[in-house]
Amino acid sequence: MNTQKTAARIFGVLFLISFLAYGTGAGVIQSIVGAPDILSNVYASTTLIVVSALLMGVVHTVTNVGLPVVLRPVLKPLNETLYFGYLSAAIVATVSLLVGVIFLLLLLPLSDAYMRSGSAVAGQAETMAILLREANYYSYQIGMAIWSLGGLMFCFILYRYKLIPRLMSVWGIAGYAVFLSGCILAIFGLDFGLIHTAPGALFEVSLSLWLIVKGFNSRATVPEPDKTEMVEIDKMSLSKA
């Protein structure tokens, strides 16, 4: 009981920190690189970009990988396969997002070279800046698609073992399914923005708050084995005897 409550609260806090760290950092950087004359804006906002990149690349990375690790004593005994699937997806997704942050950081030396060289390589430099910005975009979409797959596994465990109200678990499954579809469509050039991100994002915030306040359902148990499994167990017991 105490382990579950502690894990739930830590998970909720880490989830909020991860969500806010990446969201804040990405929002600040996108406001800089999304405007015309990317490299001039980057050069004038070096400190903001570095701070934002630290939020996205350090704070988010540590907290995001920590999420499934914290829930290991809760989820692994219930369904080891789905737990390790969730853990693996979280790690791969976080690495993909981290690569995207590195693409954005490469804009800093490029903007410095651009300002020193003047108009001689202006066109080429701006083209490279656009490519780096787009590389970050695709890294994000791929990372969040993988994160959504992990989220589906996570929510299936929550639903099957009644760790939280089932209606909330269904919300999470639907939200991550929409998010996954939206990320795949965005890779093909159909970006629906908040329409495909809002359901999953609202679920994550709501789940975090729920776990901090309520925790997991203490009466959640592993389902009893079916008749076929019981027969196999009996046969193994007789053979050993």
Q: pLDDT for 127-174, tens place per residue?
A: 999 999 999 999 999 999 999 999 999 999 999 999 999 999 999 999
Contact 56, 97 (CB under 8 A): yes
Which range of residues forms the domain containing residue 99? Answer: 2-240
Q: Is the pLDDT assigned to residue 178 strictly greater than 80?
A: yes
Q: Residue 2 has what pLDDT?
A: 75
Q: Residue 152 has what pLDDT?
A: 97
Q: How far apart are CA 153 and CA 160, in angstroms?
A: 11
Res. 231 pLDDT band, cuts 50 70 90:
very low
Residue 27, token pair as written in the block = 């929002």
Contact 128, 110 (CB under 8 A): yes
Give one DSSP letter per residue of 2-37, joined into a string. HHHHHHHHHHHHHHHHHHHHHHHHHHHHHHHHTSSS
3-state SS, one letter per residue, for 63-127: HHHHHHHHCHHHHCCCCHHHHHHHHHHHHHHHHHHHHHHHHHHCHHHHHHHHHHHHHHHHHHHHH
Q: Residue 36 has what pLDDT?
A: 82
Contact 139, 56 (CB under 8 A): no
Q: Is the pLDDT assigned to residue 179 strictly greater than 60?
A: yes
Q: Residue 114 has what pLDDT?
A: 87
Q: Residue 56 has what pLDDT?
A: 95
Please provide the average confidence, as pLDDT, over all residues in the chain.
88
Mean pLDDT of 178-198: 91
Q: Residue 86 has what pLDDT?
A: 97
Number of structural domains, the chain?
1
Task: Give the CA distances from residue 135 to residues 11, 61, 195, 197, in Å, rounded to whole numbers and listed in that order.
Answer: 30, 19, 22, 20
pLDDT by residue (tens digit) across 8-67?
Answer: 999 999 999 999 999 999 999 999 998 888 999 999 999 999 999 999 999 999 999 999
* Burial bucket for residue 91 (CB in 10 Å: 0-12, 13-18, 19+): middle
Q: Residue 241 has what pLDDT?
A: 46
191: left (phi over 0), alpha (psi -120 to 50) or beta: beta
pLDDT by residue (tens digit) across 76-93?
Answer: 999 999 999 999 999 999
Contact 15, 204 (CB under 8 A): yes
